[in-house]
Structure 1
Amino acid sequence: MYRQSFYQYLMTERNRDSHDEIAEFAEGAFYDQSFPKQSQDYEELSQYLELNAAYLPTMTIFDEAWDRYLAKMS
């Protein structure tokens, strides 16, 4: 069974007119040229975001998005 990457999932949450935190995270990730677009690994993504994602005000937003991603993939 095909499982999309976290980035592919996150792009389904993108909505530039929304003030939802996950939509804003998705918008920031869309413009992040270095985002690990193929990754399905929590640790890899978490480490990348902690070090590189100034557009993500808190890792809690990533954790919530990750939970939604896992729910959608199951």
Structure 2
Amino acid sequence: MYRTSFYHFLMTLRQPDSPTAVEQFANNAFLDSTFPKQSQDFDEISKYLEENANYLPSMTIFDDAWQLYLNKME
């Protein structure tokens, strides 16, 4: 079964007006030119965010977004 990348899924959550934490993460990831756009791997994306994403105030936000991704991919 084909799974879309996490980044592609995340882009569907972008919200310009009064975004939730996950939607703000999506907005900021859109502006991050080095985000691993093709990845479907939790560990790879998590490591990238921990080392590079100063726009993500808490990894819990990523965990919440990842769970939404998994639910959508089921």
- TM bin, normalised by shorter chain, reads over 0.9
Q: What is the TM-score normalised by the length of structure 2?
A: 0.97
Which string of whole-angstrom CA distances, capped at 9 and with x for unpartnered residues, describes residues 15-71 of structure 1? 111330011000000000000000000000000000000110000000000000000
Q: Percent identity?
A: 61
Match of 1:39 in 2: 39
- Divergent runs of 4+, >2 A: none
Paired position in structure 2 for 1:29: 29
Alignment match, 2:19: 19
Distance in 2 separating the partners of 1:18 and 1:70:
25
- TM (normalized to structure 1)? 0.97
Segments of structure 2 that go 5 or more residues without pairing to the other structure are: none
* Structure 1, gaps ≥5 residues long: none
RMSD: 0.7
The 5 A counterparts of 1:30-69 are 30-69=30-69
- State how far apart, in whole Å, the 2-side matches of 1:52 and 1:16 are: 23
